[in-house]
Amino acid sequence: MTVIDDLLATLPSEAVPVRHVLVGARWTVVCSRYAGMAATLNPPQQHGRQPAREFHRLRQKGARELAELARSSDLLEASIGVAAINSLLDVDETQAHETNASEVLSSRGAGKSVAMVGHFPFTDDLRGAVGRLWVIELHPAEGEYPAEAAIELLPMADVVGITGSALINHTMDGLLSWCNPSSTVMILGPSTPLSPVLFEHGASIISGTRIVDEAAVLQAAGQGASFRQVEGVKLLTFVRPESRSHRS
């Protein structure tokens, strides 16, 4: 079973109406039981390509139906699907810390080898705080590594950070399988489902976003805001229970 399969299996089976669907330039937001977001992945389309799944009628679909789009090979559909999953999850915030992922990675990675799948705004700061940093990207900048390097670098890392967007492009299962079992593995970013399912697949820490002001997030995402410009969200970090004695 994949991470997506197991996440979908935890969602409520009853019909949940969809209040809003917003597919912004950077962020996709689905409002149903709660409000959830995910990165908008939308590669250039070939001329004449058929439009994906009745995008003009998304609000007429149930939240569970939208969540099933997370399985899609169409990245825009999968973005909507992951946002819909996040809109349906019950999150036990009593088990969370309102901690920025960068602080956790800096602390856990001090003096150690860290591999980051995805370039985050704090990457440059992290480089100065850890022993060694490998950044793995689909489109690597100077000093970064291409996606195919993950199979070699992840097993050597003491600490691994994986963007939640790896769920959208369906690379998450492979990435988790390449991590050393003794490594600390964090899944992070606004796309990350705050679900213990990720612990069952090898994550040590999950760090994501809970929307607390739906209107503010819809407004910001609709205007193409970067995540640092989005108001109305709360950053939550969860540690796998057996790892809590080592929590920063």
Please identify, among 57, 88, 119, the residue that sits at the C-terminal boundary of a domain. Answer: 88
CA distance 31 to 69: 15
Residue that is last in its domain, among 32, 61, 88: 88
Q: In what order do the strands lie in the sheet with 233-239?
A: 145-146, 132-137, 113-117, 159-163, 184-188, 205-211, 233-239
**Same domain for 167 and 99?**
yes
Query: Into how many domains does the chain fold?
Result: 2
Give residue 11's identity as a one-letter amino acid code: L
pLDDT for the residue 57: 72
pTM confidence score: 0.92
Residue 245 banded pLDDT, cuts 50, 70, 90: very low
Residue 142 pLDDT exceeds 70: yes
Given a cut of 70, whether residue 30 has pLDDT beyond it is yes
Q: What mean pLDDT comes out for the span 239-244?
A: 77
pLDDT in tens, 79-115: 999 999 999 999 999 999 888 899 999 999 999 999 9
> Does the structure show a pLDDT above 80 at 21?
yes
CA distance 187 to 174: 14
The residue from 73, 88, 103 where one domain ends is 88
Domain check: are 36 and 76 in the same one?
yes
Residues 241 and 141 in one domain: yes
Residue 59 inside a domain? The answer is: yes
